Amino acid sequence: MIGKVGWSAQRSRESMDDLERLYKTHYAAVVRFLYRKIWDADRAEDLAQEVFIRAMAHRPEKPRAWIFAVAANLARDEARAAIRRKKHLTLLKDDPIPLSTPDPSADDAVEHDERWEQVSGALATLTERDREVLLLWDAGLSYPEVAAQTGLAVGAVGTTLARARKRLIEAYDKMGFQPAHAARS
Amino acid sequence: MRHVPEVELHAYLDQALSRSQCVEIETHLATCAHCHGQRDEIAALRDRTTALLGQLTPRSLILPPAFETLAARKPVVAAAAVWRDRFRRAGLWAASLAAAVGAGWAGRSVFDSHPTPPAVASSLPHPLPVLLADPVADLARQATPIPIQEHPTRFVAARPAGYRQADAIAPAPTLQLVAALLPMHEASPTGPFAVTHPDTHSPFDRIWRSVTWEEALRIAGSGLPFIEGLPVVGVLLQPGAAGERPTVIVAQQDPGGEVIQSIEGPVAKVSELLDRQATPDLHASEPARTTPDYVEGPGGVRRTLRILSVTGRLPVDSLNALARLATIR
């Protein structure tokens, strides 16, 4: 028979194990989610780690929804701080943007940068709510989890998501992306 | 035949429907070319959205640091979170207290039949209004520009012997970090305006007061910031903890009619005030160090850093230039 202290310790260990699993599977998603809000890769990683550290202290019942809720709040605070420090988010485009290929050609790098700017520009045209729902969905949250975080009804998540997808694609197409090499030829 | 609504197709592809709803839709899709085509379109839209968002990835490979490393950082971050919560709670208390005092102050001005002695603010064509929760923003918003005229007692024509320039400007771009690292000193209020609340330990427990220049001089004794050559249009003061000088905001008007505020006080307090000025058009100069407070406590003498920052709706360079003109009595 497990005593009260033993049961509590076991439960705490299980909760920590769950959190560790969640950390391994969702860390990258949280970083991406934060990055798409604050556009600073290093800061996004810092904040993602802070989110999980807080989760360790709080041991939330629904950890996946909780970490994205905390991440959204931290991103909001960060954006406010950025405005305060007069660091416009787009200034970060001066930073070299890591590329997905190890040794990209100059053309590929230019093309990547252009596409990055157009996608982020298209994302910026969405309303805050549409953007939030889209990013949460892309981070892997279910409709009920997105609804709980945004305050929408579960039924409204589908509507918002459908609208957000359409608007993102429309805005991106309107910008008329042309690959650099295609534009020259 | 009833077609499947577009939103339901999105939800179906997102696997957000129940098993029975999925079966119903799949049955319909097997016989309806229109809905089948629409399903394909939505699937393509969905895939394209995912691909576009995939472009916005900070790195091709995001590797989490070891979980144990994170666990080791837990106490530090948790302590910072506690302080953030305290700030938030203290801010709420300050807002409610300021509102209460503001209401009382307004009532006093309306019902008091005795004329108040002449003072800086009362000599203005438009007296300063009641304080709200955010003293800096409040002052900036409500200090009404006045026509520039001769104010012999308000203008500082020449620097008196007792005045000295603020200490060397030491840019502190990481003010927020400093504020986060330095714990706020426990409030141990003194003076006639001190108010405490048992649940908080923040200096924001004390009330901001709108005072005349003379009153401010009397209460502060020293540490009043001002920019030479500009008329003073208002002074806000918050008494400090035991042994600490108060935090002071002096509003002055520049020749263009803009209201400039010089904020001087402990680092944490000034940082908090600057934090609240999160409006894009309101800027702040680089903070400059002023004379620190030396507070005697049980563990010996403690040094509390103080800074000065000049804020207003002017470019940062202009505010930096004004900050260099600022004088601390």
Give the max Cα distance, chain B. Answer: 95
Q: Is B114 on the interface with A (CB under 8 A)?
A: no
* Angstroms from B299 CA to nearest CA on chain A: 32
B6–chain A Cβ distance below 8 A for any pair: yes
The predicted-structure confidence for B65-116, as pLDDT tens digits, reads as follows: 777 777 776 666 666 666 777 777 888 888 888 888 888 877 776 665 555 4
Whether B242 has a pLDDT exceeding 70, the answer reads yes
pLDDT of residue B262: 87
Taking CB atoms and an 8 Å cutoff, what residues of chain B touch A159? Answer: 7
**∠B26-B31-B33 over CA atoms, to 5°?**
100
Q: Which residues contact A143 (CB under 8 A, 6 or more apart)?
A: A154, A157, A158, B11, B14, B16
- pLDDT of residue B238 exceeding 50, the answer is yes
Of how many residues is chain B composed?
329
Residue A83 CB burial class (10 angstroms; 0-12, 13-18, ≥19): middle
Residues of B in contact with A90 (CB under 8 A): none
Q: Which of B35-44, B111-120, B235-244, B308-317 has the lowest mean pLDDT?
A: B111-120
d(CA B148, CA A152): 53
Question: What mean pLDDT do residues B133-143 have?
Answer: 58
Amino acid, res. B244: E
Distance from CA of B221 to the nearest CA of A (A): 32
Side chain identity, residue B274? L
Q: What's the whole-model pTM score?
A: 0.45
Please tell me the distance in Å from B8's CA to the nearest CA on chain A: 7
Q: What local confidence, expressed as pLDDT, does residue B148 receive?
A: 46
Q: How far apart are CA A123 and CA A135, in angstroms?
A: 10
**What is the residue-level pLDDT of chain A in tens, covering all 185 positions?**
445 556 666 666 777 778 888 888 889 899 999 998 888 888 888 899 889 988 888 888 888 889 999 999 998 888 777 766 654 444 444 444 444 444 556 666 777 778 888 888 999 999 999 999 999 999 889 999 999 889 999 889 999 999 999 999 999 988 876 554 444 44
Q: Is B39 in contact with B9 (CB distance < 8 Å)?
A: yes
* Reported ipTM exceeds the 0.85 cut: no
Q: Place B61 in a pLDDT band, splitting at 50, 70 and 90.
A: low
Average pLDDT, chain A: 79
